[in-house]
Amino acid sequence: MKLRAIPWLVGLIALATGSLAEAKTYRWVNDQGVVTYSDQPPQVRPVEGERDALIAEALDISGIKKTLDTVPAHIRNQFEARQTTLKPEDKARVARILSDAFRPDGLNSAVRGAFRTNYDPQRMGVVMAQLRSPLFRRIAALELAASEPGAKQDLERFAMGLQGDIPPPARVALVQRHEAAMRSAELQIEMGVVAFRAVVRSLEPIVPSEKRPTARETELAERTLRAQQENLVRSALVRWLYTYRSLSDEELAEYVAFGESDAGRWFVTTQRKGLLDAMRLAMDMAARQMAAAFPPKR
């Protein structure tokens, strides 16, 4: 999303930084409905149940599975953006190989593998207690709704409206803390770089050497992608303001505090590693399948 309409956001973020310097407070509800506030996170015993079942439930509730469903389309867009002289039948064959390598079920399996390798029963207990709560299920539904194609125009209207309806600095500070914990802009860039490399590597066997991008051209393309981080961070902040607009400050603060907690950081870090590992494995698979499907050209 283009953000020329909201240059004020950078200054507003600077104003908000440091405005929430109070001590972090955790809030949770026990089985009897008693609400507890503390400066220490809840001590939750490891969740009962099979490890793999808990991992699958966490990935489903948190929306990671739905994120993986969007990867094939992203790879397809990267491929279609490349200027090639492939015959229609070869282009269709490449598209099929990329679609097969980046199947959501294969990607999901790699992410689950990252959680198995880095599994921590105590942290998973805290994560599941939060993900299963009504507030976090509601937040997952809000995130899903904001990611639907039909929400794009609504998000753009919301962004334009921010010029005349500037959010309070405390609200901006909350979404800034959320983005700092989630690092969604950084992850978007890393996944974009992997997708770019996957397409370049996959096309090597069928593109004459003189038409392949040089190492310098590839490096420049990746630098260009990484240079978008500042704009992507701004875009992410607007997206969070839009996604969580129906939440109260207290509800959003509770969600942000979870992301900043030890268990929240473990969950985000593990899912991030799993996503990038999944993309790299799929990239290697696509490159092998392309090499086998097409004779190398010199």
Percent of the chain with pLDDT over 90: 30
Q: What integer pLDDT is reported at residue 29 of this predicted model?
A: 58
Grade residue 8 by pLDDT with cuts at 50, 70 and 90. very low
Residue, of 242 and 192, whose pLDDT is higher: 242
pLDDT in tens, 57-68: 999 888 888 778
pLDDT at 171 over 70: yes
Task: For residues 28 and 129, give the distance between their C-alpha atoms in angstroms, rounded to a whole number.
Answer: 9
pLDDT digit string, tens, across residues 155-170: 999 999 988 888 999 9
Choice among 8-12, 129-133, 226-230, 281-285 with the minimum mean pLDDT = 8-12
- More confident position, 286 or 180: 180
Q: Is the Cβ–Cβ distance between 131 and 58 less than 8 Å?
A: yes
Question: For position 154, what pLDDT does the model report?
Answer: 92
Confidence (pLDDT) at 42: 58
**What distances in angstroms separate CA 296 from CA 40, 105, 272, 286, one per listed residue?**
60, 30, 34, 15
Domain boundaries, the chain: 45-293
Residue 3 has pLDDT above 50, yes or no: no
Structure-token pair, residue 59: 């990935």
pLDDT band at 33 (very low <50, low <70, confident <90, very high): low
Mean pLDDT of 141-148: 87
Q: How much is the mean pLDDT over the chain?
A: 79
The CA-atom distances, in angstroms, between 149 and each of 63, 70, 145, 153, 155 are 16, 11, 9, 9, 10
Q: Which residues of 7-46 are buried (b: 16+ CB within 10 A; e: fewer)?
A: eebeebbeebeeeeeeeeeebbeeeeeeeeeeeebbebee
Give the Cα separation of 44 and 127 in Å (integer). 9
For residue range 101-141, list pLDDT tens digits in order. Answer: 888 888 889 899 999 999 999 899 999 999 999 999 999 99
148 is written with which tokens?
A: 């639907």
- Which pLDDT score, from 0 to 100, does residue 117 have? 93
Rounded Cα distance, 131 and 124, in Å: 10
